[in-house]
Chain A
Amino acid sequence: MKILVADDSRVMRQIVIRTLRQAGYDDHDIVEAEDGADALAKVSSEQPDLVLSDWNMPNMTGIECLQALRSSGSVVPFGFVTSEGSPEMREKAANAGALFLIAKPFNEDTFKEVLDGVIA
């Protein structure tokens, strides 16, 4: 399985990747994207099986990336990992077609809880 991790913070991408490993998802290929536009391009070039994306990013936000993906017909499973976990953000994410929203801060248990049904 290939997982695309999109976050404008390199440190946060590393923390997400580390947490994936700690949660037991350590045998997957990881691809990194540094903003929404990069993620959009890499969904096309890398064909990931899952996208884990930050919400607030320069160039293109995570939600704009998701909307662009869905408009182009992509059905790639997409979830947010973001510091904004308010009910309104969760609703917005779900309406745009996101499978889940993991709020920062998170730990490996949060990842397991949410991703066990998504990552085979």
Chain B
Amino acid sequence: MSSTDTGERRRSGEARPVITELIDEATVQSIADDAWTALVGEDEFLVPIAGEFPGDVLSSWVDVVGPWTGTVVLTTGRETAAGLTRALLGDHAPAELEDEDIADAFGEIANVVGGNVKAALPGPSALSLPDVGHAPAVRNPADVCRLEVLWRGEALSISVQGALPALPVPHQH
């Protein structure tokens, strides 16, 4: 049957952009800088230097679903995430932070960074609620824009990573 649909034509006609075609590290850094200044503090800076992560790290992330589908993931040491939480809470920070406080604050930073990354991407897209825990795996190494910075000398990464595996390369006739 000549009209058998192998999906090949459909796939080759639906080239999905990878994130590096849509956003660069400088834009992600600028978004993160604005979030840090407004949320963490006016004198808080992200220095664009890759640092060494401790063994105990925590990630927070939001999903973007649209013409580009993926996740905006922040990762840092658990202690650094606690430091960020204290900075966000300011005078309201309790003597002992609960895990819930850290999940709330670190998740909210991912929400603000992710919301602004989403706004810089082609739309329309939907944004998920933030999640906190072990970072989602990278599905397609070519579909990642990763920024490594230092906050107060501690390593922190922001990874804008595709959630979908690479499309099969269309067969060349």
Contact = CB atoms under 8 A, between A and B. Distances in A.
A binds B: yes
A107 interface: yes
Contacts of A10: 101, 104
Interface stretch (A11-19, A23-31, A36-44, A64-72): A11-19
Given A11-B101, A15-B39, A105-B37, A58 B115 contact: no
B90 A83 contact: no
Contacts of B34: 105
A58 B104 CA distance: 14
Interface in A44-78: 56-58
Interface string B145-163: 0000000000000000000
A95 interface: no
A109 B118 CA distance: 24
B88 interface: yes
B112 A9 contact: no
A105 B129 CA distance: 17
B124 interface: yes
Contacts of B118: 84, 86
B114 interface: yes
Helix, strand, loop or mixed for chain B's interface?
helix
B105 interface: yes
B9 interface: no
Contacts of A106: 38
A56 B112 contact: no
A2 interface: no
Contacts of B49: none
A10 B105 CA distance: 8
Contacts of B108: 9, 11-12
B143 to A, nearest CB: 22
Given A84-B115, A106-B38, A9 B127 contact: no
Interface of A: 8-12, 14-15, 18, 56-58, 82-86, 88, 103-107
Given A83-B127, A85-B119, 12 more contacts: A9-B104, A9-B107, A10-B101, A11-B104, A15-B88, A18-B90, A56-B129, A84-B127, A103-B115, A105-B34, A105-B38, A107-B38
Interface of B: 34-35, 37-39, 85, 88-90, 92, 101, 104-105, 107-108, 111-112, 114-116, 118-119, 123-124, 127-129
6 contacts: A8-B129, A11-B88, A11-B89, A14-B89, A14-B90, A105-B35
